[in-house]
Structure 1
Amino acid sequence: MEDYSNVQVKSKLNVDFEGDVSSPLGFIAGGMHAGLRKQNNDFGWIFSTTEAQAAGVYTLNRFKAAPLIVTQESIAQNQTLQAIVVNSANANACTGEQGLKDAKDTQQWVAEQLKILPTNVGVASTGVIGEFLPMDKIYHGTQNVLKEQYNNSEYFNEAILTTDKCTKNLAVQVEIDGTTVTIGGTAKGSGMIHPNMATMLGFVTTDANIDGETLSQSLKMTIDDSFNMITVDGDTSTNDMVLCMANGQANHAPLTTEHPDWQEFQEAMHYVCQYLAKEIAKDGEGATKLVTAKVTGAVDDIDARKIAKSIVSSNLVKTAIHGEDANFGRIVAAMGYASDQFEPDDTYVSLCDTDVVHQGMSVAFDEVTMKAKLEQDDIVIEAKVGDGHGNAVAYGCDLTYDYVRINASYRT
């Protein structure tokens, strides 16, 4: 089957896996320990030396956290930001009017510190739901934004983590009008992860010259095939959003969808977001394996996404993968309840490059060889469900005993 999981941008894309949101021109990132956690950095910031065009994509959960509401309203006003501040350990969700006031106070304190408009400050939080922010600690953090000793992007990458085992970041470069444009990204997330966003925060920065409306269009197109195609546990959280800032400092002709290099830029954006999404899925709470489901031949991309997401979301598939059990019956069951737009007799499934279903019927395979393949860290499930043009790739992880342990004591 065709492998289209990795973005190919001809030969023009340069990838820096050590890069992050501070890589594009004019961006500074940092972080510090403000006291919200017992130890480790817990308050971080991103700052653009000039006002940047901004776009965001937000959780569909009806219980939207206060910082998300405040940030969404700010971007809606004029589609610009110049700074983003993030705290971990406390989600500031289900906190009512006090939570909104606390988010706006955070905006105001940062704006005063940086001498910018409050509406040009995005705020984000992640952590325990239902507790008020310790505003004395938040204030302490805001008064140290851009202090030289804390301006280290790795501090930011660490400050936004909760149960994550590792930081998630990279940067790419692509040529626009013969000018080097950089796109950087940093994300967090390992639990409460499900399509339509999850307990994840994603931050993307670029020095590309692009207006806010076009940037928003680019981000939304990218999200559908990246952050909205991952799952860890089927839970969609209250705080999740992806924010993108573009400050134009690469100084090329304005990017529009009609620009001859538009596709190069869009594919570079997709590479960044897809990489971060895969890293989130791989770092799922307690996870030991990354599970990739590739679906081809569906009636359209929408149906292909439904099937692919159903495979990686199935707890029975996830536990079978953890047990290194080639129980493909769980895979076809997850496909079957996801869509009624394909015929089982036209279905083919492979697991780790071994055919297990042919025209809806089981295929004999060597159990010993399959067991060895399932011991790998990366598990790939491929399904062809007809002759349609719909394709999709979804990412998930196995479900382990450690997932239960971590979440049984999350608040304590």
Structure 2
Amino acid sequence: MIKTTISSIVRSLATIPTELAHLIIDDLRVKDILKLLCHNDERVDACIVSHPVCRAMFGFSSDPDTLARTRFAAQFHNSFFKEVSPALSSKAGLESRWLPLNIHCIEPKNYKMIIVEMRENIRRELYLHWHQTDLTQLGAPDYPELARNSPPQDNYSFEDMKEWWEAIKKAKANLFKQRSTELHWAANMLEANPDILKRTLDPHQERRPNTAHIVSRMRKTADKTLRAVGQRLVASEHFEYEFFEITPFDSALVELLKMMQKHNITTGDQLTVDTVVGSNLAAPHPSSIQESARIVAGGMSLFHLSPLMTPKKRSEIRHSMVTNSDGMVLRTGNTPWSEKNELMDCVHVDGPYFTPHKLGTPRAFRRPDICQWDPHNLKEEEWLEAFVEVYRYLKGLK
């Protein structure tokens, strides 16, 4: 097997007679020939096209446009796997049946399988990207050819797949930007409010002496996400669950509910601020606080689910301890707005609480696979922001 680099082979072919060039080509693998074509060098092309095996293998003698089509396929195959992952760039060839073989080791009846294999290498990877999440909701056209795992081989070309890939990347860029923005927002909120908020996956209910490493890791993950548009979607703990990355401490929830009652924002499960609307009574609190209180109360019972969490997908966790009968995920227990759920009868917790770590392990809150790549509902950020705003405001009242 040739150990020299493709670049050095290109330099050699450019300076030696055709007969010697053919002797070098005799020792190359199919994927080496394809890499040589990617250089788009006239002298190298001439040596390959005139080589008897290569000419027959790719049909260069039958159609003058074959060289251009083969080059396009080779360049896209090479660039595609480099973009997806540098490791996959070589791995795809090594795991292939035909591409790693010496050009003399393939029978003429199997020559056509080289292009078929290259096409299938790409299409299999495109299928993985396409089915990780619903990219049509992120701007990608609907591609029926990617809807099934093994479409007929002649129904798509390399040009088609390049179009699909560009659309997939554009949709993923939208997705990853949203994910990155969410993580940066959560990091900023946690950094500014470590006395109220915690990382939701942290089972402890005491303030950590130092959250800087948590905030830093969130930001690094957010920045890394923006740079991974071409790569495979990778599972992340930040988006694996229905709950948001950060949440208030249970103690902050208890304190907020007491302060809302004390300062005449709520009476039982009713918002007192709403009773002055249309009356002659003066509003006891600024309008911004009244609106934030409505947001807090409105989202107290259930998490705001991802837009992709359809009723059909919710049915996958409908019988879980953490959901109501409609498959909606419970946020709190023992608050004036918490849903009563028959499955919670065996759960005995004193005082108001957030459901993660109380109704089983976080695994019970795990999203269906197709939703694990998507940002959370923007209303979750709105709810947390409102919670902090009302808490800070009431805490500052005498």
Scaled to the shorter chain, the TM-score interval is under 0.3
Q: TM-score, normalised by structure 1?
A: 0.25
Structure with the greater relative contact order (CA < 8 A, sep ≥ 6): 1 or 2? 1
The structure with more radius of gyration: 2
- Counting helix residues as a fraction of each chain, which structure ranks higher? 2
- Higher-strand-fraction structure: 1
Could you tell me the TM-score, scaled by structure 2's length? 0.25
